[in-house]
Amino acid sequence: MPRNPRHVLITGSTSGIGEAAALAFARGGDTVYVNGRNAERTAKAAQRIRNAAGESAGEIVAVAADIATAEGAEEIFTAIGELDVLVNNAGIYTESPPFEISDEEWRRHFEVNVLSGIRLTRHYAPRMAERGWGRVIFISSECGVTTPPEMIHYGMTKSALLAVSRGFAIGVAGTGVTVNCVLPGPTRTPGAEEFVAKMYGDIPFEEAERRYFAEVRPASLIQRFSLPSEVANLIHYVASAGASATTGAALRVDGGVIATIIP
């Protein structure tokens, strides 16, 4: 069984989905490790989460480290002994014409989006298995299933996470540890807001959102951006004791934008 409170690390949790997930765990009384590359930004995010969680908050610890590097991963291992829940959320995305993506960008996306989570899972999952309980969650994307041509380097990493999470799930079979992948769709993060503003200029966000889903993402069944908290709700559930029979799965919270009933 998990410890009470559980010890939870969410990588890339200084904004967006990661911060929302950290808040969900903090409100549940867990000890939450907030991670980002910049120490000041990470500390400010941890304080925001503390303030938002209120009296129900567990301990919230800021751990600044660049987990896209082996050195950064070692900093995490030194700062955090054992984990009950690992959420591999850290990620980047850029847009480039498909034939103009450099080797450097291919490598950078792989190191941040894929290899960072592999390193942390390789370290923590066997320890969870020894204790007989644990949750590992990779944050993929609907772009891993329906890859946009201007983001094939990003889509490649998110497809890779489907294979990685399934493989690790098999590796801890029968131990009480589950490994799953969550696939958000278009989500209202600061990056998404900036992207839409660049596309449509100085108009109210609600109108830009309406036009974006009518023109660019008509397959969406909710016809709006998901909120980070809505994605965090699924992450929090998958990490719960009640999700003990869910493992090796790809779980969508994409607003129905993927035009299939399976990933």
The whole-angstrom separation of Cα 242 and Cα 17 is: 22
Question: What contacts 13, CB < 8 A, 6 or more positions away?
Answer: 19, 21, 22, 34, 35, 36, 45, 87, 89
Does the active-site annotation cover 33?
no
Q: Two tokens at 14?
A: 């200084």
Considering the candidates 33, 93, 154, 212, report the single residue annotated as catalytic: 154
CB 16 within 8 A of CB 190: yes
Please list, in sequence order, all residues whose beta carbon lies within 8 angstroms of the beta carbon of residue 8, skipping any fewer than 6 positions away.
22, 25, 30, 31, 32, 33, 83, 84, 85, 86, 87, 239
Structure tokens given for 212: 């974006």
Query: How is residue 157 written in tokens?
Result: 């990493």
| Number of Cβ atoms within 10 Å of the Cβ of 173 | 12
Residues with catalytic annotation? 154
